[in-house]
Amino acid sequence: MAKHVKKSDLPHKICATCEKPFAWRKKWASVWDEVRYCSERCKRERPKGGGGVP
Protein backbone atom coordinates (compact mmCIF):
# COMPACT_ATOMS: atom_id res chain seq x y z
CA MET A 1 0.00 0.00 0.00
CA ALA A 2 1.11 3.49 -0.77
CA LYS A 3 1.78 5.91 2.05
CA HIS A 4 -0.25 9.06 1.89
CA VAL A 5 0.94 12.28 3.44
CA LYS A 6 -1.55 14.87 4.58
CA LYS A 7 -1.08 18.29 3.03
CA SER A 8 -0.89 19.75 6.53
CA ASP A 9 2.18 17.58 7.20
CA LEU A 10 4.13 18.94 4.20
CA PRO A 11 6.69 21.76 4.56
CA HIS A 12 5.30 25.27 4.10
CA LYS A 13 6.78 28.62 3.08
CA ILE A 14 5.46 32.18 2.82
CA CYS A 15 5.26 33.69 -0.67
CA ALA A 16 7.59 36.68 -1.12
CA THR A 17 4.95 38.58 -3.13
CA CYS A 18 1.50 37.87 -1.70
CA GLU A 19 2.76 36.75 1.75
CA LYS A 20 0.37 33.77 1.82
CA PRO A 21 1.53 30.33 2.96
CA PHE A 22 2.01 27.61 0.35
CA ALA A 23 2.92 23.95 0.66
CA TRP A 24 5.62 21.78 -0.87
CA ARG A 25 4.83 20.30 -4.29
CA LYS A 26 6.36 17.23 -5.86
CA LYS A 27 7.58 19.24 -8.88
CA TRP A 28 9.60 21.40 -6.46
CA ALA A 29 11.29 18.41 -4.78
CA SER A 30 14.74 19.09 -6.24
CA VAL A 31 14.64 22.90 -5.86
CA TRP A 32 12.59 23.45 -2.68
CA ASP A 33 15.35 25.56 -1.08
CA GLU A 34 15.21 27.98 -4.03
CA VAL A 35 11.40 28.34 -4.27
CA ARG A 36 10.24 31.79 -3.10
CA TYR A 37 6.90 32.31 -4.86
CA CYS A 38 3.65 30.34 -4.70
CA SER A 39 2.89 30.73 -8.41
CA GLU A 40 4.18 32.03 -11.73
CA ARG A 41 1.84 34.99 -11.36
CA CYS A 42 3.45 36.03 -8.08
CA LYS A 43 6.88 35.54 -9.65
CA ARG A 44 5.93 37.89 -12.52
CA GLU A 45 4.39 40.48 -10.20
CA ARG A 46 7.21 40.51 -7.66
CA PRO A 47 8.32 43.95 -6.57
CA LYS A 48 11.15 45.17 -8.71
CA GLY A 49 14.25 45.84 -6.66
CA GLY A 50 17.05 48.19 -7.45
CA GLY A 51 16.99 50.72 -4.69
CA GLY A 52 18.38 53.39 -6.99
CA VAL A 53 17.57 57.05 -6.62
CA PRO A 54 15.53 58.36 -9.61
Cβ atoms 17, 42 nearer than 8 A: yes
| Mean pLDDT for the chain overall | 85
pLDDT at 52: 46
Q: Dump pLDDT digits (tens) for 27-51.
A: 999 999 999 999 999 999 877 765 5
Residue 40: helix, strand or coil by DSSP? helix
Cβ atoms 27, 6 nearer than 8 A: no
pTM: 0.70
Instruction: Determine how β-strand 21-23 pairs with β-strand 12-14.
Output: antiparallel
Q: Dump pLDDT digits (tens) for 4-17.
A: 888 888 899 999 99
